[in-house]
Each structure stands twice: as C-alpha cells, then as structure tokens.
Amino acid sequence: MSQKLTLTQTQTQRQTQEQRLWLTPQQLLAAKLTSLSLDELRERVEAECMENPWLEKRRSTRTKQSRSSLSYDVGERGDTQSFYDSLTEQMGEYDLTEEERQILEYLIGSLDDSGFITKPIHQIVDELEIYHSIPTSEREVSRLLGVLQQFDPPGIGARNLKECLLLQHPSEKLRSVFENCWDDFTGKRWDRIQERMHLTDLEVEHLRREVQRLNPRPGGNLNDVMDRQMQTIKPDFIVEIDEEGVIHLSLNQGDVPSVKVSEELPSEEGEGESASFVRTYKEKGQQFVDALAQRRQTLLTVMKTIIRLQKAFFVEGDEALLRPMRLEDVAEKTGLDLSTVSRVTSSKYVETPYGMYPLKWFFSGSSVQDGEEVSVRKVKQALQELIGAEDKTAPLSDDRLCALLREQGYEIARRTVAKYREALGFPPARLRR
C-alpha cells in the first residue's frame, strides 16, 4: 500500500522578496527601437511621421557613394537556422549549468506553433524526471521559463496570450488595459474600456494602433522568417581597417529618414482640447527623436565594446583569435543592462573586410585550459583537426577524442565532445569508416 503525501498533511509558510525594474515610457520606447532591424526601424519612423503631424523628415545629406544604401545577401552565413536552433543558440548568452541547459532545451522543445508553453509546469517536471531522468522542481522550471521569456522574439515562452502581450513591454496605459480590462479587450469592447478607464477618443485610437504592433504569435512569426532560405539584409554596422591597422566603425542608417519636431508649431498658449493636443504631440515627437538618438548611442557603445574585446579578430580576420565572450561581459564593460545588450545583439549584423557576421556570432561559451577560459570555437577547431587526421580505417571514438583533447589541455566531458562532433557535422566513429 503506497503512502501519498498531500498538501493537507503539512503546512509551510514561505516569504519571498521580489524586485522589479520599472521602466519609464521613454525608456520603454528606446528599448523597443533598439531591438528593431534597419527595415523595421524605417517602417516605425514612417509610421510615427504619419501619426504625428508635428514630426517631419529631415532632408537627406547622404551622397550616392554612401555605403548606407547597399544591401547584402546572407548566403552561407545564413539566417536559415531553425526556430529551435535560434532559441538554443541564445542559451549561450547565459551562464547555465548542464542541467539548466537540459531543462531549458526541453522547454524550447515544448513550445507550440505560436511560441507558447501550454503544458502545466507540474507536467513538465514529471516528464523531465520520467523521460530524461532529470529530477527538478516547479520552482526551478518556472525560473528557467523566465529565462526563456527573455529570448527573442519578445513574447516567446508565454503561457497564454495575455502574458505574451505583456512580455512585449506595452505602454503603461495599454498594460493597464490588459491587466484591468482583459475580458473587454478580448471581446473588442473598446467602448466599455474607454468608459472604465476614462479615455478620450484619441487615446483609444492610439491604444488600438499600439495593439496592432504587438505579435500574438511570436513562434509563428519566427518560423516564417526562418523559412526564407536566402534573405537580403542590411548591415547595422560597417567596420573598416586602414593601412595602419586602425579600426574604423560606422553606424549604417540605411534608408531610415532622420526626423525632427517641426519648428513651425502653432502657439501653445491658452487652454482647451486644441492646446492640449498640440502639447501632447509635441512632447511625443520630441520623445521619439530623443529615443532615436539614444538608440544610435547605445548601438555604437555596444559595438565599440565588442570590437575592443575581439580586437584580434577584427584586425586579422582569423576566427581562432576570437576570445570567450558573453553578454554579461559586454554589459559590465558598457554599464548597460543585460537586456539592453541582448536587444542590440539580436538580429543585428556587422560588415567587415572578412564578410558579414551576425553580432551573436561573436559570443560563445568557454571551456577551461590550464585554468584559463578557452573559446568553444578553439575546442571545436581542435576536434575537427583530430578527426581530419584520424586513420579512416580505425576512426577515433568519442572517448578517445575526449582523451586526446584532454592531453591538449581541454577539460571537457565525453558527451560534450559528442555534441561538438555532431555540431561540426561528423557522424559517430562507426559511420566514419
């Protein structure tokens, strides 16, 4: 007869302390703009100019020789990785234990077509223990789900539509609509929302437009992008090396128009709806212009730091010279928040004399050699050389490869060797004969 422990048998009291970082509307706007690609930024600027009559485009001063108008084909460096690969790659930006990685990989594999986690947390805990021999807790799985929800695209890993939209950092007013008027929102009863929240017609219209910018199916959207086998992209940064070996960095503006608040504004004197309308749009216009400037400064700050940390590569172009680098390293050097660095490095590209690279390509995990961190790329390069030089009639097993790598100072486990071998495209020893 089995004994079953129920919640009625024991009572526990738990006190938790939660610290949240509340961003101002200006910070939220700057964060959204920072995460956009060049094409997305152009569309956003055009939309803002259409919505705000006091925002006007500056006349372009770029010449025909400007490289900002060029586009590039991704080709072999491709953006054609799968939805799963794109998410698992982002795990490298976090300092995770092997067990945490396995749990996070299982969560990614549990996403539905919309990018949601629809399984109950307790079911995931049971599946991890039964099918993968990973004992864990609901608290730990929930914590790692919170890590997944920081990945791109925004909203990924949500457990429902409401959480998905909230994860995309809506404005304070729209967040209030979601939290206080969710049933009316899903029922598209904007008249009741307007009445309950005492909104003007203009405010309701802006909220409706903001909703249209949110993505209710982040997984489906990313799958659509990944299905494009060849994708023309524009570099966000251009790095050039002069004859003296000096690195020059420029920020590509592409065909994104510069904007300013119109100097021909009507008088703001007086009271009433008209004067309030002018002040509101003038302030919003200036906030948008300031956010664009902040985006530019943030992107340059992060890219300059990446260049400093990976200077050897940018000078020589040799991938073996890349050093271990994590998002945390860049955040520490720049003084920026980790989430800000993640936004900058997501979906951004740099053109170098050696080709086009996604910024995430410069980040990697690390192994340990003689007490020092070694880039995973170096371990893979050593592994590739061992397999390339092996006797084809007697291929090296993973255990033997592990031993040979350890002789070179790479202290890694056999299962890690197997993972790297598979990533390099080499089958097991029995299939390499």
CATH of the domain at 411: 1.10.10.60
The Cβ of residue 229 has, within 10 Å, a number of other Cβ atoms equal to: 9
Structure-token pair, residue 432: 């390499």
Is pLDDT above 90 for 391?
Answer: no
- Cα separations (Å) of 135 from 88, 118, 250? 21, 21, 50
Looking at residue 396, the DSSP 8-state letter turns out to be P
> Is residue 355 located within the same domain as residue 386?
no
Is pLDDT above 70 for 231?
Answer: no
> Is residue 254 located within the same domain as residue 375?
no
Task: With respect to residue 396, please indicate whether it lies within any of the assigned structural domains.
Answer: yes
Is pLDDT above 70 for 118?
Answer: yes
H or E element in which residue 285 lies: helix 273-309
Domain boundary, last residue among 364, 394, 416: 364
Looking at residue 120, the DSSP 8-state letter turns out to be -
Place 18 in a pLDDT band, splitting at 50, 70 and 90.
very low
Distance CA 401, CA 405 (A): 6
Task: With respect to residue 10, please indicate whether it lies within any of the assigned structural domains.
Answer: no
Highest mean pLDDT (candidates 15-19, 60-64, 91-95, 394-398): 394-398
Distance CA 373, CA 325 (A): 10
Task: With respect to residue 174, please indicate whether it lies within any of the assigned structural domains.
Answer: no
Domain boundary, last residue among 349, 364, 379: 364
> Is residue 298 located within the same domain as residue 249?
yes
Looking at residue 80, the DSSP 8-state letter turns out to be -
Is pLDDT above 70 for 384?
Answer: yes
190 closest CA partner among 176, 170, 214, 199: 199
Residue that wins the pLDDT comparison between 101 and 220: 101
Written as one letter, the residue type at 334 is T
- How many domains are there within the chain? 2
> Is residue 291 located within the same domain as residue 322?
yes
Mean pLDDT over each residue of the chain, to the nearest integer: 79
No. of helices (H) and no. of strands (E), the chain:
19, 10
Structure-token pair, residue 311: 């200077």
> Is residue 235 located within the same domain as residue 296?
yes
The answer to whether 257 and 46 have CB atoms below 8 angstroms apart is yes
Task: With respect to residue 146, please indicate whether it lies within any of the assigned structural domains.
Answer: no
Is pLDDT above 50 for 19?
Answer: no
The answer to whether 37 and 347 have CB atoms below 8 angstroms apart is yes
The answer to whether 367 and 374 have CB atoms below 8 angstroms apart is yes
Q: Which of 20-24, 30-34, 44-48, 281-285 has the lowest mean pLDDT?
A: 20-24
Averaged pLDDT, 231-236: 73
Structure-token pair, residue 88: 């698992």
Q: Which of 113-122, 281-290, 313-322 has the lowest mean pLDDT?
A: 313-322
Is pLDDT above 50 for 51?
Answer: yes
> Is residue 349 located within the same domain as residue 303?
yes
> Is residue 384 located within the same domain as residue 354?
no
> Is residue 328 located within the same domain as residue 393?
no
Place 82 in a pLDDT band, splitting at 50, 70 and 90.
low
Place 62 in a pLDDT band, splitting at 50, 70 and 90.
very low
Range of the domain at 341: 22-60+69-78+228-262+277-364
Task: With respect to residue 329, please indicate whether it lies within any of the assigned structural domains.
Answer: yes
Q: What is the pLDDT of residue 28?
A: 83
> Is residue 286 located within the same domain as residue 409?
no
325 closest CA partner among 350, 352, 362: 362
Domain boundary, last residue among 315, 333, 364: 364
Strand partners, 352: 355
Largest CA distance in the chain: 90
Structure-token pair, residue 212: 């249209």
Task: With respect to residue 15, please indicate whether it lies within any of the assigned structural domains.
Answer: no
Residue that wins the pLDDT comparison between 25 and 373: 25
H or E element in which residue 223 lies: helix 218-226
Side-chain-side CA neighbours of residue 323 (13 Å):
12
Helix (H, G, I), strand (E, B) or coil at 191: helix
The answer for residues whose C-beta is within 8 angstroms of residue 342's C-beta and 6 or more apart is 93, 150, 152, 327
> Is residue 346 located within the same domain as residue 391?
no
> Is residue 349 located within the same domain as residue 335?
yes
Is pTM beyond 0.75? Reply is: no
> Is residue 283 located within the same domain as residue 346?
yes
Distance CA 377, CA 319 (A): 8
Task: With respect to residue 395, please indicate whether it lies within any of the assigned structural domains.
Answer: yes
Task: With respect to residue 422, please indicate whether it lies within any of the assigned structural domains.
Answer: yes
